[in-house]
């Protein structure tokens, strides 16, 4: 803590002594050996391990973009939010974020937990590897901090692969060199809010991607959904009336109808297409979306392909606070079968099938709806593990009715809140609520073990269900 205190005090003294536009002094120097306790950054390229929002206690760590001067990183507002204080502990070091919270790992998740005081699994070991990268490894579970390239966030994983990258370690060194808001530390596009550098925090605009080299580089792009193309750009349909599901047309303005100012975006089959395509989600028209994919030609023009992650702008509205969004029971939701209107539902989580996207049954009494994908309130997919939801928890979410193979479900529901509860299985399988399974001919069978369409009865009530 001594070095953290010194760093904090030096920032305060500097702010009082310098002119109004001076932000910071000093820099972070790349480490070839580990120096022990101190203030550090973990970064892969210009993407630094940062801290969770103050309202969150768990999740994958976001990235922040850095300002380089040669091999060193200039102290700045970004580094101030991303700094980590390494403190001596038995068996290793504790890590505190810029807000003083301890970084730990609970359970089997690859995401992080943050605590105001030391808690379980909060000790880390540090090794500088032969290639110059750093392995910061949790002492208790053996997982190592890495950048998830596809996700654009930091997690802690058992092993590296093509989509997980180890960081480099940089140590803070105090100095007299001043970095001011007006300085240009190397023509970093992240300094200009109108210019993106392709990171999640500073995505490219549509115009920038159109001018980008089509070299299959992984980039983030931000734009408005204005339509889709039926086979070629010449057959672009602005609007959602004649939409196709395989692609989107993106523009820098929500009211754009000039195809020359747009880029095409390929939507691969799966959760991304299910959540974004205008055929199934006409309400996405005009929404701002940030997409992660490869800069590549599509329909013979500059575009984005292989989209693997996205953030759909919901204007910051919490579905639970929207007076236009009505909360109803699951039974009422099934009876309405309304494919156009989103409703708020509350029930117990049962039979989790997939922990990447969040596929499970939501149960209220004898009524069940299958949830095929759960998004964060910000519209992010593949974050289910970081939400800490378990079978038996009481979950509140919002979504629209979809009929898939004659079975009602909600695709890409939006998380609102949850509270811990008891396991659902015991409630469903009680003697007064027996569960029976039948094939489509009506023949009684054991609980299905293979994917397919089956008939299930709960307490005498029949529900068609698909088992994935």
Q: What is the pLDDT of residues 205-214, one digit of tens each?
A: 998 888 877 7
Nearest residue to 81 (alpha-carbon basis) of 63, 93, 102, 69: 63
Instruction: Give Cα 255 to chain centroid, integer Å.
Output: 28
Task: For residue 314, give the DSSP letter.
Answer: -
Write the pLDDT tens digit of every residue in 49-61: 999 888 888 889 9
Q: How far apart are CA 379 and CA 451, in angstroms?
A: 29
Confidence band of 24 (pLDDT split at 50, 70, 90): low
Model confidence pLDDT, tens digit, residues 270-284: 888 988 999 888 888
| φ and ψ at residue 233, rounded to 5 degrees | -65, -30
Distance (Å, whole) CA 269 – CA 271 = 7
Tally Cβ neighbours within 10 Å of residue 8.
16
Counting beta carbons within 10 angstroms of the beta carbon of residue 312, is it exposed (0 to 12), middle (13 to 18) or buried (19 or more)?
buried
What per-residue confidence (pLDDT) applies to 435? 72
List helix spans (H) across 224-329.
271-276
Q: What is the mean pLDDT of residues 26-46?
A: 90
Average pLDDT, the chain: 81
Instruction: Name 148's bridge partners.
Output: 153, 164
Smallest Cα–Cα separation from 262: which of 220, 203, 221? 221
Q: CA-CA-CA-CA torsion for 43, 47, 50, 53, nearest 10 degrees?
A: -170
- Using pLDDT thresholds of 50, 70 and 90, give the confidence band for residue 298: very high
Q: Length of the chain, please?
A: 468
Tell me what pLDDT residue 13 has: 39
- For residue 182, CA distances in Å to 23, 192, 321 come to 10, 11, 40
Cα-Cα-Cα-Cα dihedral sign, residues 273, 200, 288, 239: negative
* Per-residue pLDDT tens digits for 424-449: 444 344 344 567 777 777 777 777 77
Q: pLDDT tier at 466 (50, 70, 90 boundaries)? A: low
Tens-place pLDDT, residues 334-357:
999 988 788 999 999 999 999 888
Predicted confidence at residue 10, as pLDDT, reads: 44
Mean pLDDT (whole number) for 129-153: 89
Residue 190 pLDDT > 80, yes or no?
A: no
* Ramachandran region, residue 57 (left: φ > 0; alpha: ψ -120 to 50; beta: rest): alpha
Higher pLDDT, 377 or 278: 278
Dihedral angle at the C-alpha atoms of 95, 98, 99, 101, nearest 10 degrees? -10
CB 41 within 8 A of CB 73: yes
Tell me the backbone φ, ψ of residue 336, rounded to 5 degrees. -70, -40
Q: Is pLDDT at 15 greater than 50 in this prediction?
A: no
Sign of CA dihedral 235, 237, 242, 243: positive
Average pLDDT over residues 245-271: 91
Q: Where are the domains of the chain?
A: 2-180, 203-312, 319-467
Within 396-458, residue ranges assigned H as helices are 424-428
Higher-scoring residue by pLDDT: 380, 90: 90
- Residue 34 pLDDT > 70: yes
pLDDT at 429 (0 to 100): 40
Most confident range, picked from 4-8, 225-229, 236-240, 409-413? 225-229
Average pLDDT over residues 192-213: 78
What pLDDT does residue 212 have? 79
CA separation, residue 288 to residues 24, 250, 257, 284, 368 (Å): 34, 9, 16, 9, 33
Superfamily (CATH H level) for 203-312: Bacterial OB-fold (2.40.50.200)
Q: Measure the CA–CA gap between 419 and 414, rounded to whole angstroms.
A: 16
Is 319-467 in the same CATH topology as 203-312?
Answer: yes
pLDDT digits 0-9 by tens, 142-188: 999 998 877 788 999 988 887 788 999 999 888 766 665 445 444 34
CATH code for the domain defined by 2-180: 2.80.10.50
pLDDT at 101: 94
- Does residue 457 carry a pLDDT above 80? no
Nearest-angstrom CA–CA distance, 167 and 172: 16
Higher pLDDT, 280 or 42: 42
Of the listed ranges 20-24, 114-118, 274-278, the least confidently predicted one is: 20-24
- CA distances for 308 relative to 109, 222, 245, angstroms: 21, 14, 16
Structure-block tokens of residue 116? 């105001």
The predicted structure's pLDDT at residue 73: 85
Class of domain 319-467: mainly beta
CB atoms within 10 A of CB 403: 10
H/E stretch holding 95 reads strand 92-96
**Does position 324 have pLDDT exceeding 80, yes or no?**
no
């Amino acid at each position: 803590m001594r070095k953290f205190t010194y760093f904090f005090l030096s920032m305060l003294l500097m702010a009082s002594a310098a002119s109004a536009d001076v932000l910071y002094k000093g820099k972070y120097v790349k480490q070839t050996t580990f120096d022990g306790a101190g203030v550090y950054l973990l970064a892969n390229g210009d993407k630094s391990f940062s801290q969770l929002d103050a309202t969150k206690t768990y999740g994958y760590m976001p990235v922040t973009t850095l300002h380089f001067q040669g091999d060193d990183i200039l102290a700045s507002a970004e580094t101030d939010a991303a700094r980590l204080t390494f403190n001596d502990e038995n068996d290793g070091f504790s890590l505190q974020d810029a807000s003083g919270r301890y970084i730990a790992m609970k359970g089997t998740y690859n995401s992080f937990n943050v605590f105001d005081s030391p808690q379980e699994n909060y000790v880390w070991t540090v090794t500088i590897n032969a290639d110059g990268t750093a392995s910061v490894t949790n002492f208790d579970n053996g997982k190592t901090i890495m950048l998830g390239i596809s996700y654009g966030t930091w997690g802690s994983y058992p092993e590296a692969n093509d989509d997980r990258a180890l960081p480099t370690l940089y140590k803070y060194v105090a100095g007299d060199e001043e970095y001011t808001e007006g300085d240009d530390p190397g023509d970093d596009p992240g300094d200009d809010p109108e210019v993106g550098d392709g990171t999640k925090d500073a995505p490219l605009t549509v115009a920038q991607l159109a001018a980008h080299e089509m070299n299959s580089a992984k980039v983030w792009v931000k734009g408005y959904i204005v339509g889709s193309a039926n086979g070629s750009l010449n057959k672009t349909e602005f609007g959602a009336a004649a939409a196709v599901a395989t692609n989107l047309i993106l523009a820098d303005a929500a009211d754009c109808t000039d195809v020359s100012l747009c880029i095409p975006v390929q939507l691969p089959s799966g959760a991304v297409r299910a959540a974004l395509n205008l055929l199934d989600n006409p309400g996405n028209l005009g929404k701002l979306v940030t997409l992660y994919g490869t800069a590549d030609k599509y329909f013979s023009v500059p575009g984005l392909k292989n989209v693997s992650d996205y953030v759909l702008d919901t204007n910051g509205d919490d579905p639970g606070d929207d007076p236009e969004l009505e909360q109803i029971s699951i039974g009422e939701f099934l009876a309405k079968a309304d494919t156009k209107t989103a409703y708020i539902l509350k029930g117990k989580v049962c039979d989790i099938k997939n922990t990447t996207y969040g596929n499970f049954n939501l149960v209220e009494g004898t009524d069940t709806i299958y949830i095929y994908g759960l998004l964060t309130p910000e519209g992010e997919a593949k974050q289910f593990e970081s939400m800490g939801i378990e079978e038996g928890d009481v979950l509140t979410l919002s979504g629209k009715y979809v009929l898939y193979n004659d079975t009602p479900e909600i695709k890409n529901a939006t998380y609102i809140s949850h509270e811990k509860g008891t396991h659902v299985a015991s409630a469903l399988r009680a003697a007064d609520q027996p569960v029976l399974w039948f094939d489509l001919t009506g023949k009684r069978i054991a609980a299905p073990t293979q994917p397919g369409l089956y008939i299930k009865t709960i307490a005498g009530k029949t529900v068609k269900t698909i088992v994935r």
